[in-house]
Structure 1
């Protein structure tokens, strides 16, 4: 069994690496722009693909960042049960996905098990973000999706542009502070923003699922190999600017492989990256492969590798003191200081004992930085068997994570 999985994994990686769509060459620099406007539900949009088919009302909105990226943000304003089908003055909840996926990662589970749909059914105004470069957020005011300059971004741009634009838009639309839910990179985005005293005035609470604040102890085999061998940096130096694992032929091959009874595809595709997820059903793999993975900038992969090797959470390091001075006014990149997170902000934090990306030792560092937090304003949950993908793809996440989180929210009102 292990030999079969190893052979298939090796073969799959070789196929992906030999696919032209996997990497894209760069040739030019960046540009900027700005605008913001709402958009109604449209044919083929995010709402049509994942939300309305499940019987929920949905609105597609466009939010344009100060550097010109046009982000799709989907709104589920009400649930589908008889008592939930009212708009009214509902509390907004903003869900932010991690890297290599998009907002559909919150909708892969059936409606009764999905966090987004459960929140809507419980009376919340739900907003799903699709980060720059993902399928529904490919637009830009001046750059084409395939322009190398389009992909010139790291964590810093997500923190400086995407989150503020999205927060402000939802705040303006609802007139209320936001409850924020992040998974994986989504947690790092909001913690980095809060550490620099951004967005706090628009936040009602924060939920950190599989929090990634520090990465020096990560046991993710794939992440370690890429980081320790400077693979992303090497590819960047060769002119590759985009990390894109999605290809129609590869996806169809993986679907066929995943239907082989003796192949545990959840282990095959996720364990080398996320750790051994305990509770994902094999049937979810077809749904996942229909929509994910999503591309990301090579620069953000390099940034994550820097955090893994360095152990500290800093802005992007250009590995040249002169360039760093040009960007930051100092020879080394500034740190995102987690101690700066407001001590009276309600926080729900959940992490897993089998999570290779959000390692227990790294989460301990985060918790150490939160020691001065108001004990009445923080809930810390540890689930021994959970790994990284369990938080968005396991059927029992509702029982173990989502229900306690919704109870946490209800206590705030």
Structure 2
């Protein structure tokens, strides 16, 4: 995730979670600028060095510890390329977030409970994940049916690392299903992407796929199976009562998202994860949003990964995102 505190910028990475103040514990592990010895950055130098600083932007590596103990790696871009320090001017941040594992559901859930809203200028959600009833990727559907609540104990891991041996062992029988083609996992998971090239995919795979919590994967599976956008179900009534004061987990009411929060939403016609019908369900919850605060973009040929790796994503998507953000500056 990359953090930005400006309104004019170029989009460089998978997901931009933009905050200037944190309700969490934050520590800095990197500095602005280039490597002192002039050597080309390696993966060990972090996402800032390999994907941001090399393009002339300042960038800072951060770690955020959440209230429930998860440690997240974040990257912050404090200003535009060649913009200077702006005389110390503080700008309201924007959020640009994509897809499943860098959960858009995180933003939508927070907004529905009026969290973060007062800290933000606007938000852009690409391939938004909220409802998952129509997800049509065979591997995703089979995995969702397999991700029962007991899987946390089964794997014995709090962290779901796609590159780890336990996860490989979990995926092996799923890949044996005749309807699943694990030789092309990207297409199998995201849909038939129109606009990728091999060099971009190689670059992407330097940093991805990233880990997420096993609990997060179980939660997504619950949403797929039940067709309801609710908080995590601990299965045991006493656990749900302990966390929520109710036997069943509360449902997120996306209609509660402030109607004057500027939102840009873009979704693709070929996306196997963020299916058009599920996005329409989301948009129906936002039908009372202020007209001048909402911008909806539909890209007919795009699938899930095109938004982050498409060779034409800048022209098709990100120019529109930047125009939207800039249009909200003085509003």
Please report the TM-score for the alignment, with normalisation by the length of structure 2: 0.76
Residue of structure 2 equivalent to 1:30: none
What's the CA shift for 1:67?
3.8
Match among 130, 133, 136 for residue 213 of structure 1: 130
Partner deviation per Cα, 1:305-351 (whole Å, 9 max, x = no partner): 00001111111111122221111111100111100111111111100
Q: 2: distance between equivalents of 1:39 and 1:227? A: 36
- Flag the structure with higher helix content: 1
Aligned counterpart for 2:97 among listed residues 176, 182, 189: 182
Contact 1:317 1:332 in 2 (8 A): yes
SS state at 1:73 partner = strand
Unpaired segments ≥5 residues, structure 2 = 1-23, 36-44, 169-180
Number of positions where the alignment pairs a residue of Structure 1 with one of Structure 2:
278
Q: 1:367-407 CA distances to partner (integer Å, 9 max, x unpaired)? A: 11111111111111101110111100101111110001111
Aligned pair in 2 of structure 1 residues 67, 233: CA closer, same or farther (>3 Å)? closer
Structure 1 position 354 matched with structure 2 position 307: no
Change (3 A) 1:175 1:267: farther
Would you say the 8 A contact 1:277–1:388 is kept in 2? yes
Q: Distance in 2 between matches of 1:296 and 1:37?
A: 20
What's the counterpart of residue 112 of structure 2? 195
* Aligned-partner Cα distance in 1 for 2:162–2:68: 26
Q: Is the 8 A contact 1:307 1:314 kept in 2?
A: yes
Give 1:231 shift.
4.0
Match of 2:31 in 1: 41
List per-residue Cα deviations over 1:135-167 (Å, max 9, x = no partner). Answer: xxxxxxxxxxxxxxxxxxxxxxxxxxxxxxxxx
CA distance in 2, matches of 1:239, 1:64: 23
Contact 1:246 1:292 in 2 (8 A): no
> In 2 relative to 1, CA 211–396 (structure 1 residues): closer, same or farther, beyond 3 Å?
same
- Give the Cα separation in 1 of the matches to 2:25 and 2:198: 42
Q: Cα 1:66–1:237, aligned 2, differ >3 Å: closer, same or farther?
A: closer
**Equivalents in 1 of 2:299, 2:55: separation in Å?**
30
Give the match's secondary structure for 1:344. Answer: coil
Partner of 2:57: 56
The match for 1:158 is: none
Gaps of 5+ in 1: 1-33, 91-173, 252-264
TM-score of the superposition, structure 1-length normalised?
0.62
Paired residue for 2:225, among 309, 316, 320?
309
Whole-Å separation in 1 of the counterparts to 2:195 and 2:265: 20
With over 3 angstroms needed to count, the CA separation of the structure-2 counterparts of 1:239 and 1:47, relative to structure 1, is closer
2: distance between equivalents of 1:411 and 1:78? 18
**Cα deviation digits, residues 194-245 of structure 1 (max 9, x gap):** 11111111121111100111111111221101112x2454533424324322
Q: Judge conservation of contact 1:207–1:347 (CA < 8 Å) in 2.
A: yes
Shift in alpha-carbon separation, 1:280–1:239, aligned structure 2, 3 A: closer
CA contact (8 A) 2:160 2:211 kept: yes
- 1:101-140 aligned at under 5 Å gives the runs none
Closer/same/farther in 2, CA of residues 298 and 62 from structure 1, 3 Å limit: closer
Match of 2:85 in 1: 87
Check the 8 A contact 2:47/2:75 in 1, yes or no. Answer: yes
- 1:51 Cα offset (Å): 2.3
What is the DSSP-based 3-state SS (H/G/I as helix, E as strand, rest coil) of the residue aligned with 2:198?
coil
Q: Is 2:252 the counterpart of 1:336?
A: yes
Q: 1:35 to 1:412 in 2, by over 3 A?
A: closer
Give the match for residue 147 of structure 1. Answer: none
Partner of 1:160: none
